[in-house]
Amino acid sequence: MIEHQPYGNDDPYKSTAIERFPRDPGPAEAVQVGFRTDPGASEAWIELRHVSESGATSQESIRATSLGEGLWSADFGPFEGGRVEYRLVARQADGSLVESDHAFEVGRWVRVTGVAGVAALGNQVAVSLQTTGAPARLLVSFPTPGAARCELQVGEMASTPALPDLPTPTIENGSAHTSISGPDIALYLDRQRLRLSAVSTSGGALAGEQQFSVDLALCWLERPGAFTIPIRLGLHVGAGEHVYGLGERFMDAHREGKAWDVRVYEEFKEQRQRTYIPVPFIVTNRANGLWLEADEPSYFDLRHSDATLSIDRIVDPVSPSGARSLLTFTLFAGERPYDVTAAFTRLTGSIAVPPKWAFGPWMSANTWNSQAISEEVVNRTLSEDVPATVIVLEAWSDESTFYIFNDAKYQAVPGEAVLKLADFEFGGRWPDPKSMIDFWHANGLRVVLWQIPVHKRLGESHAQHDADGRHMVENGYVIRNEDGTPYRNKGWWFGDAMVTDFRNPAAAEWWFSKRRYLIDEFGIDGFKTDGGEHLWGRDLRAADGSRGLELFNTYANRYVEAYNSFVQAATGGDGVTFSRSGYTGAQRFPIHWAGDEDSSWTAYRASIKAGLSAGVSGISMWSYDIAGFSGEIPPPDLYMRSTAMAALCPIMQYHSEYHTVTECRDRTPWNIAERHGDPQVLDTYRRYAKLRMRLLDYLHGEAQALSGEGVPLMRYPALEYPSEHDFLGQDEYAYLLGRDLLVAPVTERGVGTREVLLPSGRWIDAWSGSELTGQRRFHAPAPVDRIPVFVKAESPRLGTLLAAFARWRQDEPEG
């Protein structure tokens, strides 16, 4: 037996002992392979054969080094192109030999060396490129005002039809430069330096020496018959220019100075540079932007001003007479940075707005695993006069089908059949869920149920689960390996589960037919669509032909989009999804939350950063778990500070993980208050929840207004006021909420004031009604139950907002 997986699990951060390093060796890269044999193997070696591009062949035998316990390692290379075949050989304890054959294409780098010409091509512009290999061109078009789409094509060029509904560009040639203009944007091509920059023509700065630009000296690795082609694109960031974006990121606002993977990834707590919702889109404080229009994972190396963007693209071979589309990127330019976000959302999908009730306070805990516990919690929130509009039930199902209430009795049906409410006899943990849900609805509480997009691997027989699983496999409703067998999740969470293929319309229809009764008969209002991150292996296949690299990022969107479409259709647009993962265009199916975090000040600060970062990429309807969901309960001050911030962010929610300890770890305000012996916690949460309810119309209205503009509810002041960027950017945590509010969360413990950096203009303290002049730094009062908030003095909504905050005093407890 020899076990060798060249790509391991395709985990971008964690390697295995039996993979190849690097996974796809290129020219001049040394290679190491790891493999496993039976522990009794006495020796192992590699029989290596290299065929160069000229056809010359060389062979050698390389002895492997034993690492113990049947693990071996061997080093070889580097190579300058060609094909490498290697056979792993091991001598077993009985003297017999076992073998395993593998190969890879080294390839050669092709580089763009110059511009051969620029010509109009219908409503596109063709920039002909000189290369060290096949002919290439960059096709430029203008899909929306302020955006220029650039598609790199390689190979013999066929005629290109005009693109529908796009404007005709204007071309102006100079001695060394060419300008290509479209609506509100002009591209400046420096033909000598091979630089392409974008400038706003609706008020932006002129192109200059330090202008944000891409390097047209692109390069790509040609591998004959290879599955993927690595492509590199240079990016130049001007002095004093700061880069934002790349989706939901838990780090500081500026992206320059670090390297970033754009890969949907589930990191349980302390995500740092990893994220559930990456987006290959950046914006600068000078209102420049770039989007890599690709499904495959990409890599933004922004450690230097001359940055590199790279991606392994799936590029299928074409006939010699046809061109291959290697890469598409879009350059943006606007008057303000959020103009770039607006243009991006016009291209990737409008920001959808959930129903008004979704903007009220949410309540959730994974330990609410029975009707008795859930009813007790709801009754407590009603008796404590703590407003809530949504309850999330995570631990409601049988943990097998995930569409049947736990402990329900029923007769299993064939996989293609569906169950209805009348088919169940309820008892045990959920004796009468229908009456429970009806009571909650009567008291203004909507109900959201937890979901996961997998068919769980069980350790025992379960009739309905087994029938469903057989039906999924027989009808091609699951993601498959290249050999046609069902893919089994290689991740740690729901390991070995089959993954539903939502790219197959029949699979989605079948999946939701099983869940339709939850909405139609129970009246469920939405689903918490958890997970979606665990696809590993580039040999995966979906029903529409999509492969592993194309699925790693996009599966999350297809999964959530399918649920969202189902919910909206079933509820008449009055339902929600609440999701953790996503990719480009995730704003089309809200809501998203920041995932799993500890109850710590560090995690609280990281969550605020994540919400602001997500907004730059268009993800507006965002939430996080108040004061974190994991571990021991948060201290009172953290809970109150986090509550204040949550009451003034897009979606307000508390949640806690499952636990088995004796002490209750629910993040309900009364549990935090009682366990710490601090009644102020409950009082403070109640008052902020009531403030939230008074702001319900405002938040929903602002969500609609700003979504119509294509910008998020939560925004960086430094990007909203770019002329004051260096001043306002000193505050990492303050943000604008809607068109009128400046919110300054308190993120340090033990303080009674909060330094505030006010943007220009006139501002009204929401608590005191005092007027302040902007472009100033001052310390605002910030007792433990108070968050500094300011309202634009010119806002037509000023009176409504001040009235909402003025009622705070009426909500104070007596005595």
Active site residues: 530, 533, 596
Tell me, rounded to whole angstroms, the distance of Cα 740 from its chain centroid.
Answer: 28
* Integer Cα distance of 155 and 711 in angstroms: 39
Burial of 448 (0-12, 13-18, 19+ CB in 10 A): buried
Q: Which helix (H) or strand (E) holds 470?
A: helix 463-474
Specify whether the CB–CB gap between 74 and 63 falls below 8 A: yes
Place of tokens 């020796």: 43
* Integer Cα distance of 100 and 33 in angstroms: 12
User: What string of DSSP letters covers 240-302?
Assistant: T--EEEEES-SS-S--TTSEEEE-B---SS--TT-BSSEEEEEEETTSEEEEE--SS-EEEE-
Nearest to 557 by CA among 245, 247, 315: 247
| 574 phi and psi angles, rounded to 5 deg | -110, 30
Tell me the sheet residues that pair with 148.
331
Place of tokens 């088995």: 660
Torsion 414-417-420-423 (CA) sign: negative
Nearest to 736 by CA among 717, 764, 756: 717
- Beta strands 735-737 and 741-743, pairing class: antiparallel
Per-residue H/E/C for 553-564: HHHHHHHHHHHH
Nearest to 311 by CA among 197, 225, 228: 228
Q: Is 516 helix (H, G, I), strand (E, B) or coil?
A: helix
* Integer Cα distance of 68 and 75 in angstroms: 17
Angle between helices 371-383 and 433-442 (to 10 degrees): 20
User: What string of DSSP letters covers 146-181?
Assistant: TEEEEEEEEESPPP-PPPTT-PPPEEEE-SSEEEEE
Nearest to 386 by CA among 11, 811, 81: 811
Written as six digits, the tokens of 304 are 């230097």
Per-residue CA distances from 7 to 12, 69, 532, 563 (Å): 10, 21, 21, 32
* Integer Cα distance of 212 and 165 in angstroms: 29
User: What string of DSSP letters covers 352-387?
Assistant: ----GGGGSEEEEETT--SHHHHHHHHHHHHHTT--
Tell me the sheet residues that pair with 179.
172, 188
Per-residue CA distances from 612 to 72, 294, 605, 660, 763 (Å): 47, 23, 11, 34, 22
Per-residue CA distances from 618 to 152, 200, 349, 560, 625 (Å): 26, 20, 9, 16, 21
| 811 phi and psi angles, rounded to 5 deg | -90, 0
427 C-beta neighbours (distance < 10 Å), count: 12
Burial of 60 (0-12, 13-18, 19+ CB in 10 A): exposed
Specify whether the CB–CB gap between 346 and 175 falls below 8 A: no
* Integer Cα distance of 772 and 758 in angstroms: 9
* Integer Cα distance of 464 and 429 in angstroms: 19
Q: Which helix (H) or strand (E) holds 74?
A: strand 71-76
